[in-house]
Structure 1
Amino acid sequence: MKRNIITTADGSKTIQIEDWNEQYHSIHGAINEANHVFLKHGLLFYSQNKLEAKPISILEIGFGTGLNSFLTLIEGEKQSLNIDYVGVEAYPVLAKEIEQLNYGELISKDHASMFFEMHNIEWEKPTYISPDFKLEKQQKFFKDISDISKYNIVYFDAFGARVQPDLWSEEIFEIMYKALKLNGVLVTYSAKGSVRRAMQAVGFEVERLPGPPGKREMLRATKHSTI
């Protein structure tokens, strides 16, 4: 499928899959969306309410461009957090595409080299990008995740249900539920009713939150029981 690099409303770039009319990030602002959904309502919400988690363990569903990981590294440094980060991706982004993304330039030139290091490290090998940020990239399908009670936070950033509905099913959310520790949270940009119901069906307590630019709502799900 044809892939293009496009510029979103906040000036940050993302990858568009032309045949699907689908982007890796919101056209209303890739950085704005990531900060709002995953940093504000995921990392910062959890770290401010569950300070016993050291390190904070994060699973990203759809490592993609590495934007969420890069922002998390920088925010973790600001908040003096120790973070173990696992990014799962079935189809890694190409090096020539990564070179065209402007996240280092727009977010933090001081950390720009770390953004490229994230993409250059070996897959399946945990690597410290900074003293307090360990990254492991895993190349596999989401359905093949088998971790049990391992993560405090899940960043659920798969392609939309319109184009890949199988990634937003009860089967996938049951895998996410099992992967989370008790009181862990899952955040996603989606607010579809079918997605919310699938989360609730596997045991999540789900709340609607104000969405990022261009979206009215988003979802955050919490695991309050091991049953």
Structure 2
Amino acid sequence: MQSKIEIIKTEDGSHSLYIPDMKETYHSTHGALRESEYVFIKNGLDLIKTSNEINILEVGFGTGLNTFLTFLESEKKALKIYYQTIEPYPLEENIFSALNYPDIIAPDKSRYFYDFHKAPFGEKVQFSEEFVFQKHFQKLEDLQLKPELIDLVYFDAFAPSKQPELWELGNFEKIFKWMKSEGVIVSYCASGQFKRNLKSAGFFVETLPGPPGKKEMTRGGK
């Protein structure tokens, strides 16, 4: 996808990736770890109330940070999770193996972080009694899922100015159909057009205080 990717350190000490060609980072420079914990765990996963399996769709896998944090939550809280993620541009091993997330979050679980990256595309992999993982080597526009399957969507694509095709109304209409009643979608993004597209697709939309360094974030509900 890109000719060069640089590893950078964000304000909370955790790494992110910078793509010079796009002038874009994978995570907030104000704190990659803090952003993921706040947006996707605190304002996403922690809201899902079900005694059954929690079905999560992540757009897209990227550095694997959201996956790793969700896996650790499943271990800590005994949450049964089926986690699907899409990534048409996977990172090379020399990049993901140099990221410091395992060392600063859970060194004793570091092997899982690397195994998520190495997991074969298209296959369901049982990482623990609670956590099933499946990576799709596809773009969101090409993904097909069953209706009313998903409880929670982590929408963590690059910014609309960088990958506008991912933020088009048609994608959110598809996601709405895939989601169960009372399903939730969360994103770091708070752009007006994003929120209008969510509403047009059928979602109830909330604007929430953002993570450190960002004024707002968005959560939608079915």
Q: Report the TM-score when normalising by structure 2.
A: 0.96
Partner Cα separation in structure 2 for residue 93 and residue 44 of structure 1: 28
Summarize deviations over 1:89-112 as a string: whole Å, max 9, x none.
111111110111011001001111
Contact 1:191–1:208 (CA under 8 A) maintained in structure 2: yes
Identity of aligned pairs, percent? 42
2:98 alignment partner in structure 1: 100
Contact 1:145–1:175 (CA under 8 A) maintained in structure 2: no
Summarize deviations over 1:202-227 as a string: whole Å, max 9, x none.
1000001111111111000011xxxx
Partner Cα separation in structure 2 for residue 10 and residue 130 of structure 1: 29
2:216 alignment partner in structure 1: 217
Partner Cα separation in structure 2 for residue 98 and residue 163 of structure 1: 22
Of 125, 136, 139, the match for 1:138: 136
1:26 is paired with a residue whose SS is coil
Task: State whether structure 2 residue 194 is matched by structure 1 residue 192.
Answer: no
1:163 alignment partner in structure 2: 162
Contact 1:12–1:29 (CA under 8 A) maintained in structure 2: yes
1:130 is paired with a residue whose SS is coil
Partner Cα separation in structure 2 for residue 116 and residue 167 of structure 1: 27
2:44 is paired with a residue whose SS is helix
Q: Which amino acid aligns with 1:153?
A: L
Of 109, 112, 128, the match for 2:110: 112
Gaps of 5+ in 1: none
How far 1:128 sits from its partner (Å)? Answer: 1.1
Tell me which moved more, 117-126 or 66-75. Answer: 117-126
Q: Which amino acid aligns with 1:13?
A: H
Partner Cα separation in structure 1 for residue 190 and residue 136 of structure 2: 27
Q: Which amino acid aligns with 1:133?
A: F
Summarize deviations over 1:73-101 as a string: whole Å, max 9, x none.
00121111011000111111111101110
How far 1:159 sits from its partner (Å)? Answer: 0.3
Partner Cα separation in structure 2 for residue 124 and residue 146 of structure 1: 12
1:44 alignment partner in structure 2: 46
Summarize deviations over 1:23-49 as a string: whole Å, max 9, x none.
111111111000000000110011xxx
Gaps of 5+ in 2: none
Partner Cα separation in structure 2 for residue 130 and residue 33 of structure 1: 26
Contact 1:12–1:30 (CA under 8 A) maintained in structure 2: yes
Contact 1:173–1:202 (CA under 8 A) maintained in structure 2: yes
How far 1:20 sits from its partner (Å)? Answer: 1.5
Tell me which moved more, 114-123 or 189-198. Answer: 114-123
1:4 alignment partner in structure 2: 6
Partner Cα separation in structure 1 for residue 85 and residue 91 of structure 2: 13
2:199 is paired with a residue whose SS is helix
Partner Cα separation in structure 2 for residue 8 and residue 119 of structure 1: 21
Partner Cα separation in structure 1 for residue 35 and residue 74 of structure 2: 18
Partner Cα separation in structure 1 for residue 91 and residue 177 of structure 2: 28
Kindly tell me the number of residue pairs found equivalent between the two proteins: 219
1:67 alignment partner in structure 2: 65
RMSD between aligned residues: 0.9
Partner Cα separation in structure 2 for residue 180 and residue 9 of structure 1: 35
Summarize deviations over 1:110-166 as a string: whole Å, max 9, x none.
111111111112111100112211100010010112212111000000000111112
How far 1:6 sits from its partner (Å)? Answer: 0.7
